[in-house]
Amino acid sequence: MSQHEIDEPTGVDTTGHEWDGIRELNNPLPRWWLWCFYLTIIWGVGYTIAFPAWPLINGATAGLLGFATRAEVAADIDRYAQQNAGLTSALAKVELASLADNPDLHRFAVANGAAVFRSHCSQCHGSGAAGAVGYPNLLDDDWLWGGALAEIAYTVKHGIRNETDDDAHYSQMPAFGDLLEEEEIAATVQYVLQISGADHDTTLAQDGAALFEEQCTACHGEQGQGDRSQGAPNLTDAIWLYGGDTTALTATITNARFGVMPAWGQRLSPSDVNAVAAYVHGLGGGE
């Protein structure tokens, strides 16, 4: 039921709403409240005029104050670059072997290198640089191509087995599936297990030793200790890039592997290349 009437005890008009015999009084809103409400509306409209607000097809209204978080970040980056311009150009030209003699420059390099690593390297090498299958761990002192600062910088600058940099490290293990019988590969696997200190079949490993001598030592060395000039991994240290169990070894030897690392010399500035090399070198395995 709905009808306007005066509430007797208070003398106030009612709204006509009634629930279970309770009627709603039609008291006006307090004036102070109403004014605050109008002010917020005015403020809100003013805000959308002053600041970027209304969506357009490409972007949004810019706002009269010209405020932009992007511009602020760009200005911050500019300011930082200007402050460090001296260090940056010194780092681009530094003789890497003597970087450690300049503690300020070295600290700057490592801090910058950590940022470069987070944005460009962690996708493959892991945020903590511990690597993954096919992507080497950069924390240990097991190096495919060399762990001295200048060697790391070279690897970063030119990359490995990519097609974009003529000076990239290059080598290719043959796929022995085309060259050896399955039993011969199985024997070689047992020999690799033996020299890496893992459980193995002794009889098979003996046959494998002869095959290894013939087929593998040119790259992996007489003792299987590896050869950095060819990026051929040490097979005796039980640190595996592609896995050290029978299945993984059989796959590696049958099909070979072809790990590719991009060249960064074309994408990063010379100082950033040196910075990230200094960072990686400082992670623990640097030589």
Token reading at 206: 């003996």
Task: Identify which of residues 91 and 249 has a Cβ nearer to ligand HEC in the complex.
Answer: 249
Nearest to 189 by CA among 242, 145, 227, 143: 242
Q: What is the separation of C-alpha 199 from the centre of its chain, rounded to a whole number of angstroms?
A: 36
Q: How far is CA 253 from CA 135, 161, 185, 210, in A?
A: 18, 19, 7, 16
Shortest separation between residue 257's beta carbon and ligand HEC, angstroms? 4
Shortest separation between residue 166's beta carbon and ligand HEC, angstroms? 17
Instruction: Report the distance separating Cα 202 and Cα 266, nearest Å.
Output: 50
Task: Identify which of residues 23 and 161 has a Cβ nearer to ligand HEC in the complex.
Answer: 161
Shortest separation between residue 278's beta carbon and ligand HEC, angstroms? 10
Instruction: Report the distance separating Cα 248 and Cα 260, nearest Å.
Output: 19
Task: Identify which of residues 146 and 282 has a Cβ nearer to ligand HEC in the complex.
Answer: 146
Task: Identify which of residues 67 and 258 has a Cβ nearer to ligand HEC in the complex.
Answer: 258
Instruction: Report the distance separating Cα 157 and Cα 264, nearest Å.
Output: 5
Nearest to 196 by CA among 231, 230, 234, 158: 234
Say if residue 124 is exposed, middle or buried (CB neighbours under 10 Å; 0-12, 13-18, 19+).
middle
Shortest separation between residue 102's beta carbon and ligand HEC, angstroms? 21
Task: Identify which of residues 90 and 157 has a Cβ nearer to ligand HEC in the complex.
Answer: 157
Task: Identify which of residues 78 and 213 has a Cβ nearer to ligand HEC in the complex.
Answer: 213
Q: Where along the sequence are the contacts to ligand HEC (CB under 6 A)?
A: 117, 120-121, 123-125, 134-136, 138, 143-146, 152, 155-156, 160, 171, 173-174, 176, 188, 192, 212, 215-216, 218-220, 230-233, 235, 240-242, 249, 252-253, 257-262, 264, 276, 280
Shortest separation between residue 85's beta carbon and ligand HEC, angstroms? 22
Q: Which residue is nearest to ligand HEC (CB)?
A: 259
In a 13 Å sphere around the CA of 195, the CA atoms on its Cβ side amount to: 23
Shortest separation between residue 243's beta carbon and ligand HEC, angstroms? 6
